[in-house]
Amino acid sequence: MTTQTADAKKIDTRRVISWLPIQPYHHVADIGCGGGYFTVPFAKQIPMGKVLATDVSKDKLDATRESLEDANLGNVDLLLSDEKKLPLEDDSVDGAFFSRILHHAEDYKALLKEAMRCVKKTGWLAVIELHKKEMEGAHPVDELLDEAEVRAAAEKQGFMFSRRHDVNERYYVLVMRK
């Protein structure tokens, strides 16, 4: 396991979710869900809602499916995605969540534009990314996204800044409203 992967596992999902304007009936898009690290806690947090977990990897979606089965959760739809267009309808989700994936995207600004398309008028966006600084086991600094860059890109799409938090010494989270 890489240092970055190990650090990601140290993210307190309940703490991060407590910072979000999430309600038990919301529909939340976990974009780039990976193995379901946030998908499972979201599904538990929104028992009357639905998680739309997307990823570009079928293997990651299969891993998420296993985690959901182990937790006996059925309020999640798993959707294979691509980097250009999210497999979600316009104005279909109350919240869009990106955890540690924007810096991997060919065009992270296009993903933020897609999130704007999918999030309802009163919805929210949350982004977790690595601080743009030298860190052991992290991506090279030139591959990371500065917090101000991400905020400006989201605001350019129409999101309004709400608040920010340091998740730990490696990660920040931005919470925006539509």
Q: What is the CATH number of the domain that holds 51?
A: 3.40.50.150
pLDDT in tens, the chain (178 residues): 443 445 556 799 999 999 999 999 999 999 999 999 999 999 999 999 999 999 999 999 999 999 999 999 999 999 999 888 999 999 999 999 999 999 999 999 999 999 999 999 999 999 999 999 888 887 888 889 999 999 999 999 999 999 999 999 999 999 999 9
Total structural domains in the chain? Answer: 1
E strand intervals along the chain? 27-31, 50-55, 76-80, 93-99, 119-130, 160-166, 171-177
Domain span holding position 128: 3-177
| 123/176 Cα distance (integer angstroms) | 9
Task: Tell me the whole-structure pTM to 2 decimals.
Answer: 0.92
Give residues with Cβ within 8 angstroms of 159, minimum separation 6.
Answer: 112, 116, 125, 176, 177, 178
Q: Are the C-beta atoms of residues 157 and 151 closer than 8 Å to each other? A: no
